[in-house]
Amino acid sequence: MHPFLLDLSEFLLDTIFPIHCLGCGEEGPLYLCAECIVSLERVRLQNCIMCHKSSLDGITHNTCATQLSPIQTLSLFAYKDNRISRAIILGKYKFVPAIYAELGHMLALFLKEKYDLSQADFIIPIPLSPQRKRWRGFNQAEIVAAQISINSNIPLSKALIRNKNTKTQKDLNKKDRLENMKGSFEVSAKANLKGKHVLLIDDVLTTGSTLLEATKALKEAGVTSVICVTLARD
């Protein structure tokens, strides 16, 4: 589309559908206004992704770690804050990628402030199946990952691919989720990730089965270490 038309259509959309903050309802340019976004409930104690018990900085316990597990898992927001859950659900089902950019920006600042990310070689989002990406038009994890990449100068890689259409995980228990995810990721044959350190990005951490399965695929492709990072934790 011509840039002018693009501006015009954005202007018309903003005029017809003004944005209201999901937290306080104030009209403004953002889905979460500056005041609300800083007051969102944050995760106070990070957990080990394997046993879900608390662990300093989300480091995977020695006793839980395997050759194919992530070394650390960090989440910023508490999903139980209903402003967060509403924002994440609305973004996904009403097709509003801008919400993920706003939240992703916060996640990028959090990571920069608290952790030394200079060791990371690539930022890799959890991919959607091509079918689901076509339907939604965007991958929310990719938008969050792009924000971290912009803020840290660590390159974004799309080397991880989804090779089967998994059932939606929503109604499955932890064991069935792991089973459902089995073999659903692979690393592009063109990518060389041998010896690399990767930040793996997703929107919400629930049982961790998606992140664990993706980590496994990355490590089997030669990745040295994986740190999982999510916007929110359930």
Q: Say if residues 205 and 228 touch (Cβ distance below 8 Å).
A: yes
**Distance, CA of 204 to CA of 91 (rounded, Å):** 13
Please state the closest distance from residue 148 (CB atom) to Zn ion, in A. 24
Which residue, 29 or 155, has its beta carbon nearer to Zn ion?
29
Angle between helices 174-181 and 209-220 (to 10 degrees): 30
Instruction: Work out how close the CB of 57 gets to Zn ion at its nearest, in angstroms, rounded to a whole number.
Output: 13
Which of residues 73 and 166 has its CB atom nearest to Zn ion in the complex? Answer: 73
Residues that bind Zn ion (CB under 5 A): 21, 23-24, 33, 36, 48, 50-51, 61, 64
Compute CA distances 206 → 11, 75, 86, 199, 234, whole Å: 37, 11, 16, 18, 5
Q: Which is nearer to Zn ion, 53 or 167 (CB)?
A: 53
DSSP-assigned letter for residue 79: T
Residue whose CB is less far from Zn ion, 30 or 161: 30
Query: Measured from the CB of residue 15, what is the shortest distance to Zn ion in angstroms?
Result: 21
Ordered strands of the 72-78 beta sheet: 72-78, 225-233, 197-205, 122-125
> Please, what is the minimum distance in Å from the beta carbon of residue 67 to Zn ion?
15
